[in-house]
Amino acid sequence: MNSRFLPIPWLTRPALARRTRHIAAVLTRHGWGWLLLQVESGRAVSRGRIPGVERPEISYQKQAEHLRLAMSELGATFIKLGQALSSRPDILPAEYINELGKLQDEVPPLPFDKIEGVIKEELGCEVLEAYAEFDPVPIASASIGQVYAAKTKNDRQVVVKVRRPGVTKTIEQDLEIIANMAEWLSLHSSIGQLYDLPSLVGEFSFRLRNELDYVREGRNANIFHKNFSDDPSVHIPYVYWDLTTQKVITLERVSGIKISDVETIRKAGINLKMVAENSGRFTLRQLFEFGFFHADPHPGNFFVQPDGSLAVVDYGMVGRLSNQMRSILLRMVMAMANGDSESLVDELMDIGVTRRLVNRRGLILELNHIFESYVGGNAQFLTATQVLNEILGMAFRYGMQFPGELTMLVRLTTINEGISQALYPEFRMLDFATPYVLKFWRKERSPEKIIPELASTALDGLELSLSLPRRAARLLKQMERGQLEFNINYEGLRQFASQMEKMTNRLAMAILLAAVIVALGIVLVIYHPVTWQTFGQYLFFFAFLSSLAVGAWLLWSIWRSGKS
């Protein structure tokens, strides 16, 4: 198959083919059609040119804006994808991060009769049999679900989130298209050779599918409720499990002032500094104590209570940190606090993924410049957002790709710091976090934590020592018999093999072209049939022009590859 075309054999499926053509048309209208090089089976689209769809000439400065507009027009999956990409400054330039961060997941609501059908099907009864009251006008309407106010039979105020009918099918189609785009880009583009796009799409798909499952969201809320049961500064809504399914979730309705409404909080006589600190403490405990965090921390999900505590809602999108990741994160924070550039680079290179050689010395020098600004008398103006954005910006310049969990927690930290500074301008996450980080650091190295780990390590070492002689003997026997094999997987080999294949194809074509020209000359000299005078000149003229065309194309392709 021609490597310029995107192999999508499933485009023979009519619904998927129609959706693909619609996506291609929207992307083309906004100047991004080259992302889909094939919209129908066996038909390619060059640089996004689709019959009947005008492709505007868009300046470089406007490309990011048009990508945001295209994603907004394409619906739920692409809005979520844009929001996910807005937290990846290690992959995208700053102008794209800023534009995609403006994506709002707000859509016109569906009529209540369609939503009512989903509730009846899921709960197995009429709406007013399940609830004492149910307001048919939605509180909020997003691309995946709509939220309604209701009252239970025991007179409890609740909110009911209902998944939009048909949204799962569209999302699954979109995810399949995006996965195939990522696969093609990973094989045939420079960005695909620099970043692991299929794994990024797989990670995004996993999280989006989780958002579709309201049972999982309820379990997430229960985990948060358990984690913060001892913390009066945080309130997690109760889940009504008898009124919850995969498509419907019923939650305790919380009241309060939206955390971004600073003026109303001030007029209510609530201590703004206390609210800012409660928000910061909530973030730090999620990351360092539990390793389980709210990954959608926009202000609309945080409500301030009269006593200054926070009610936090919406647990469809969460992140998890493994024990290893939490340890690395702690070491990174300690390295930042101590201005230890070399240790921080070691941790970044350990946690990051790169497909090219990283200039370690350059990374250290850039980090030194950041730390110099911190210790050089400007610490009161330095924020965690500045430091983290600098680090992720360096990752982008050096072609490093971080795990999704790390970029999600960076987004959590920066949004939280922005909210807290709006409440209390003197708030600095770096300063506020220091005692908490030290507390978690000491806890990680306490005897209660280390002794069980040492015991487990000693047991593993004992088991290994018992089996080591047998394994060593087996290895030596394989070496003696010549049966020992080594498998080496080097990412650069794929690109090298692709280049060699292109070179071989060009060489074979050049040899074939030369053979045709030589054969043509021999025929002209020794072969003179009766009809030669009539047809020979036309045959020679056609063959000569064809040879010139193929030769010109071959020279142009060689020049283009050398230039790139």
* CA dist., res. 398 & res. 403, Å (int): 16
In what order do the strands lie in the sheet containing 310-312? Answer: 234-235, 310-312, 302-304, 257-258
CB 314 within 8 A of CB 356: no
Residue of 296, 346, 431, 460 marked catalytic: 296
Closest CA to 80 of 206, 217, 256, 196: 206
Give the list of residues 6+ apart from residue 2 with CB closer than 8 angstroms, or none. 44
CB 294 within 8 A of CB 286: yes
Among all chains, which residue has been given the structure tokens 């990409």? 85
CA distance to 103, 402, 449, 536, 549, per residue, from 314 (Å): 18, 26, 33, 79, 62
Cα–Cα distances in angstroms (integers) from residue 251 to residues 90, 214, 248, 286, 293, in the given order: 36, 11, 10, 21, 19
Residue 196 known to be catalytic: no
370 vs 44: CA distance, rounded Å: 48
Helix (H, G, I), strand (E, B) or coil at 110: coil
Distance, CA of 143 to CA of 73 (rounded, Å): 11
Q: Phi and psi (nearest 5°) for 164?
A: -65, 135
Q: Which residues are 147's β-sheet partners?
A: 140, 161
Tokens of 236: 């997690």
Contact indicator for 99, 72 with CB cutoff of 8 Å: no
Catalytic residues: 296
